[in-house]
Chains A and B, each alone.
Chain A
Amino acid sequence: MSEVAAPVAATDAYVREILDAAIAQARRARLDRRTFFKVAGLAGAGLVLAFHVGERNVAYAKDGAGAFAPNAFLRISPDGTILIYSKAPEIGQGIKTALPLIVAEELDADWSHVRVEQAPIDPAIYGRQSAGGSRSIPTAWDQLRKAGASARAMLVAAAAKEWNVDTSECRTANSVVYHDASNRKLTYAELASKAAALPVPDEKTLKLKERKDYKLLGTRVSGVDNHAIVTGQAVFGIDHVVPNMRYAVFEKCPAVGGKVAEANLDEIRRMPGVVDAFIVAGTGQAHEVRAGVAIIASSTWAALTAKRALKVKWDESDASKDSWSKAVAQARELAKQEGAEILKTAGDYDRALASGKVVEAFYSYPFVAHAPMEPQNCTAWFHDGGIELWAPTQTPEAGLNAVARVLGLPPEKVTVHQLRAGGGFGRRLINDFMCEAAVIAKQAGVPIKLVWTREDDMRHDFYRVGGFHSFKGVVDASGKLIAWGDHFITFTADGKNPTSGGGLSPDEFPAQLVPNVRVTQTKLPLKVPTGPWRAPGSCALAFAIQSFIHECAVAANRDHLEFLLEILGEPRWLQPGNEFALNTGRAATVIKLAAEKAGWGKPLPKGRGLGLAFHFSHAGHFAEVAEVSVDANKKLRVHKVTVAGDIGPIINLSGAENQVEGSVIDGFSTAMGLELDIENGRVAQTNFDRYPLLRIAHAPEVEVHFIQSDFPPTGVGEPALPPVAPAICNAIYNAIGHRVRTLPLTREGFTLA
């Protein structure tokens, strides 16, 4: 068997060396957050520059090999190569291209000179290093712009010194500094070692570019790992190998909370290729280590074959008995009244109920799984009193701490190597697979690669929680929405708070925009673990809320577009001073744009309809119009979804469009046919044969329009998803007059045309 050391190792060694020195220096100097400083002779090689660029961020340089490494994000070599480190996990959101583009823009780098590597996991140096909540871009925006700008300033200073001119007479473009007056130029390659010898500029003197001057940002750039991906060379978590590695599988109770009563371990140990089999007690926490049986084998197939032969008697005394069908029945009963818990009241709701036309409806949406294409996996090696893990995680730092806690090790004894993840969607925010691998590796005494089967992945997910809404809306004689009532029925794991992903903010749209409001809540008990799923909360709420708003518009005999714009009212921030909050003006702009581009109001044949929906989440304003046809047998075709979004300036237009296209397909796929039947604590759908992700023939056309604004940027992995389902359902109503109140659509008799 051929085993190749991962290319990350070399990078780690280089960066770790300079970063260790920087941390030591930073501690000694007790730096102010914004201080730049310069130290000589650290780590025994040449000049070292270190500085903070933003929160908790020590950046670094040394000219040991004539390279210019002004901070922990980039290194310019005398051969002209610009190496940029991407600090966040790549899970398919394109961050490994987007973050370096921000640095390269301010650096005025020639993108063809740029090589990108995954940065080592060290939040003390890089700050936030997780991928979730569409927050990688907004939290890194200033930090990376300054990293690029300060390096550029040093290169300019080096050139100016060389020419004996003022820096203000110099300009930069495509990795070159120019002095136009004397018609001279020097490349970044030529300047690299000279720049390394100069002082780091004061951050306050840095001038960041204006959007109109961007050359890279906002253009379409092909992903930096595309060549590796199309040639099969990209290393995903599941592809990592270490010398003498064994393969591990882990069988857990299909109902969470089940423990191993007995298992045919002796029989399993005698199977071909099996190295060991043992019971893992677990920590009692699903997000750490569940109880189960680990099998270690010499190949994946030997391990999988043994797993199939494994017979476990589960002790299910504390296990989940959750039942989705019972929850549905309970919710239907509860929906007849308001909830006991009041989330929000405004105006005189009861009076409003008596002063207009009351619209009532009950909505429900199911539990769904993340099902990233790459099942959970992690490689772990316990050696020298510590543990090293190679993980396709969204939250390496949290994973590191979780492993330290579970193994009872100080965090310094845990090293996490970030690997590319074959999809995240929120599943990999939780690092149970890392904790499992750690515990199994420690007991196995050899490096192991833990691989979950698809069935494991579907059975032991932290699901998108299902939920129910009993709505009341009141429209007055003028057709205005004057009251909004929602009895939200959700689930709780601890008896106090809604389960992860199952909360409803009292200010959820449109509660802040309607004069009379009553939002109440009831929580049903739940043991099945839940978690964030692409646009948590919003991914489900938008369906119910934006569909019901359309119902109210229909009841008021109003055009949906006009009705929605009226609810938004005057352009304003709903939380003044918070640029990441909903702005009704930005909302109205995207709504109008989506409607205009989709031909809102155009004549359509019978059975064909346009549907509109808006949703604000993750600082992104998105409006979408779906165009669908439905025949007499409820065969549904989604022809096209037109999307208008405002996420501030666009970093990589191709990447952003790809995320929106994917969000539309994910939104439709999930709304169309995905649901989990949970009975006796077990999910029935454990592989793609019963969990029908959308296939290519049914992917609708997607047209994307971005408002490029100067508001701070936000990520676009999530906010385009929530409006998809309600836009489609509203279009179905406009096509055939059938109101969809239950997802998935297959539950209401729809099939794909």
Chain B
Amino acid sequence: MRLNVNGRDYLVNDVDGSTPLLWVLRDHLGLRGTKYGCGIAQCGACTVHLNGEPVRSCTLPVSAAVGKQVTTIEGLAGPDGTLHVLQKAWIEHDVSQCGYCQAGQLMSAAALLKSKPRPTDADIDAAMAGNLCRCGTYLRIRKAIHAAARELNEETTS
């Protein structure tokens, strides 16, 4: 089967179509930035984008990704390595503790900023509700999203 991940085409053999996308990314494509946390769409650690929409890859059969564009944390920065405004804000606000949930947090936040470039606290609550952080970095996640949104809006207005 053919997969498009981070703008690259992959030919994946010997994988049953019912295999969750998460494990194909991790085991077959070597893209291990996307994490396993629960396997039942409860924690958000496995969040990736499917045609720009956030999905939980632990419960999404890989067959559902065929013919669509998958973006993982490895593809969030530009091809030349330029960080996404959220990644910059995450570093600036020293968001991470263990860091294990953060790929999923960033992917959910990136999808939010695409649909709502000026998110309110309520927008953040709704968009980030599916992402658990056991270390409790929520306050910094919120601050970093607001900061990234400000930066984005400055870029577009200036």
List residues of A whose CB falls within 8 A of some B CB.
Answer: 1-4, 90-94, 220-223, 225-227, 229-236, 238-239, 241, 247, 272, 299-301, 304, 371-375, 420-425, 451, 453-454, 654-655, 658-659, 661-666, 669, 687-689, 693-697, 699, 701-702
Separation of A532 and B106 alpha carbons in the complex (Å): 31
Q: Given A234-B99, A454-B39, are A299 and B28 neighbors across the interface (CB < 8 Å)? A: yes
CA distance A232 to B31 in the complex (A): 8
Known: A231-B77, A454-B38. A223 touches B94 (CB 8 A): yes
List of A residues within 8 angstroms of B97 by Cβ: 92-94, 423, 658-659, 662
A688 touches B42 (CB 8 A): yes
A662 near B136: Cβ-Cβ < 8 Å: yes
**Shortest Cβ distance from residue A656 to the other chain B in the assembled complex, whole angstroms:** 11
CB contact list, B53-83 vs A, under 8 A: 72-74, 76-77, 83
The reply to whether B30 and A2 contact each other, CB–CB distance below 8 Å, is yes
Chain A CB within 8 A of B125 CB: yes
CB of B136 within 8 A of CB of A664, answer: yes
- Bound state CA distance, A147 and B102, in angstroms? 34
Residues of A within 8 A of B101 (CB): 373, 422
Contact check, A689 vs B106: say whether CB atoms are below 8 A apart: no
* 27 chain-A/chain-B pairs, Cβ below 8 angstroms: A1-B27, A92-B98, A92-B135, A220-B94, A223-B96, A225-B99, A226-B91, A229-B102, A230-B76, A232-B72, A232-B74, A233-B33, A300-B26, A373-B37, A373-B45, A373-B98, A420-B98, A658-B137, A665-B136, A665-B138, A666-B136, A669-B136, A687-B42, A695-B128, A695-B131, A696-B138, A696-B142
Residue of A nearest to B30 (CB): A2
Q: Which residues of B contact A (CB under 8 A)?
A: 15-16, 19-20, 23-24, 26-40, 42-43, 45, 72-74, 76-77, 83, 86-87, 90-92, 94-103, 106, 124-125, 128-129, 131-142
Q: Are A222 and B99 in contact (CB under 8 A)?
A: no
Distance between Cα atoms of A236 and B96 in the complex (Å): 14
Q: How far is the CA of A422 from the CA of B45 in the complex (A)?
A: 11
> Which chain B residues border A425 with CB–CB below 8 Å?
134
The answer on a CB contact under 8 Å between B94 and A372 is no
CB contacts (< 8 Å) of B30 on chain A: these are 1-4, 241
Q: Which 6 A-B pairs have the closest CB atoms?
A: A232-B33, A92-B98, A422-B100, A665-B136, A232-B73, A662-B136
Do B135 and A373 touch (CB < 8 A)? yes
Set B23, B87, B132: member contacting A230, Cβ < 8 A: B87
8 Å CB contact of B43 from A231, A272, A688? A688
Q: Known contacts A226-B96, A373-B43, A697-B125: does B135 contact A423 (CB below 8 Å)?
A: yes
| CB-defined contacts of B73 to chain A, threshold 8 Å | 230-232
Is B27 a contact partner of A301 (Cβ separation < 8 A)? Answer: yes
- Separation in Å of the B128 CB from the closest CB of chain A? 5
Quick check: B42 and A689 within 8 Å, CB to CB? Answer: yes
Min distance, Cβ A392 to any Cβ of chain B, angstroms: 9
| Residues of B with C-beta under 8 A to A91 | 98
Does B139 contact A661, Cβ atoms closer than 8 Å?
yes
Closest A residue to B145 by CB, please name it.
A696
A-B CB pair tally, cutoff 8 Å: 199
Q: B43–A227 contact, CB under 8 A?
A: no
Known A226-B91, A231-B77, A373-B101; judge A658-B140 contact (CB<8 A). yes
Query: When A230-B87, A373-B132 are in contact, do A423 and B39 touch as well, CB less than 8 Å?
Result: no
The reply to whether A422 and B23 form a contact with Cβ atoms under 8 Å apart is no
Task: Given the known inter-chain contacts A1-B27, A689-B40, A693-B134, please indicate yes or no for A373 contacting B100, CB distance below 8 A.
Answer: yes
Q: Which residues of A contact B133 (CB under 8 A)?
A: 373, 696
A92-B23 CB under 8 A given contacts A230-B83, A693-B134:
no
Judging by beta carbons under 8 Å apart, are A300 and B98 in contact?
Answer: no
Q: What residues of B have a CB within 8 angstroms of the CB of A453 in the complex? A: 39
Task: Please name all residues of chain B whose beta carbon is closer than 8 Å to the beta carbon of A422 when the two chains form the complex.
Answer: 35, 98-101
Q: Give the residues in chain B near A94, CB-CB below 8 Å.
A: 97
Whether A662 lies near B135 (C-beta < 8 A) is: yes
Across-interface contacts of B96 in A (CB, < 8 A): 92, 223, 225-226, 229-230
Partner of B38, one of A2, A226, A669, A688: A688
Known pairs A226-B91, A665-B138 / 11 extra A-B pairs, C-beta < 8 Å: A220-B94, A222-B94, A226-B99, A230-B76, A236-B100, A373-B135, A423-B135, A666-B135, A687-B39, A689-B40, A697-B125
CB neighbours (8 Å) of A697 from chain B are: 125, 129
CB distance from B9 to the nearest CB of A (A): 15
Most buried by A among B20, B43, B96: B96
In the assembled complex, the Cα of A665 lies from the Cα of B34 at a distance in Å of 24
Q: How far is the CB of A751 from chain B (nearest CB, A)?
A: 16
Whether the Cβ atoms of B76 and A231 lie closer than 8 Å is yes
**Chain B's nearest CB lies how many Å from the CB of A94?**
7
CB of A423 within 8 A of CB of B87, answer no
| Complex: A669 Cα to B138 Cα, angstroms | 12
Question: Inside 8 A of B76's CB, which chain A residues have their CB?
Answer: 230-232
Among residues of A, the one whose C-beta sits closest to the C-beta of B102 is A229
The answer to whether A373 and B134 touch (CB under 8 A), given A222-B94, A226-B94, A300-B26, is yes
B33 to chain A, nearest CB (A): 2
Nearest CB to that of B103 among chain A residues? A232
B49 to chain A, nearest CB (A): 13
- The interface residues of chain A lying within 8 Å CB-to-CB of B140 are 658, 661
Contacts A662-B136, A663-B136, A699-B138; is A231 near B125 (CB within 8 Å)?
no
Distance to closest chain B CB from A248 (angstroms): 13
| Residue from B39, B90, B98, B141 in contact with A372 in the complex, judged by beta carbons closer than 8 Å | B98
Residue of B nearest to A662 (CB): B136
Question: Is there contact, CB below 8 Å, between A230 and B28?
Answer: no
- Report whether A232 and B34 are in contact in the complex, using a CB–CB cutoff of 8 Å: yes
Given contacts A227-B91, A231-B74, A701-B139, contact A454 B37 (CB under 8 A): yes
Knowing A238-B35, A665-B138, A687-B42 touch, does A695 contact B74 (C-beta < 8 A)?
no
Please tell me if the beta carbons of A229 and B136 are within 8 angstroms of each other in the complex.
no
What's the Cα separation between A421 and B87 when bound, in Å?
A: 21
Q: Are the C-beta atoms of B124 and A696 separated by less than 8 Å? A: yes
B91 touches A654 (CB 8 A): no
**A423 vs B124: C-alpha distance when bound (angstroms):** 24
Chain B residues whose C-beta falls within 8 Å of the C-beta of A664 in the assembled complex: 136
Q: Which residues of A contact B137 (CB under 8 A)?
A: 658, 661-662
Please, which residues of chain A bring their CB within 8 A of the CB of B134? 371-373, 423, 425, 666, 693
Bound together, the chains give a CA A271 to CA B94 distance in angstroms of: 45
A245 to chain B: closest residue by CB: B27
Contact, CB under 8 Å: B139 / A231: no
Q: Which residue of B lies closest to A689 (CB)?
A: B42
Cβ–Cβ < 8 Å partners of B39 in chain A: 304, 453-454, 687
User: Which residue of the partner chain B has the closest CB to A233?
Assistant: B33
Given A92-B98, A661-B140, A662-B97, residue A375 in contact with residue B90 (CB < 8 A): no
Chain B residues lying within 8 Å of A2, measured Cβ to Cβ, are: 29-30
* Selected contact of B128 from candidates A1, A225, A454, A696, CB within 8 Å: A696
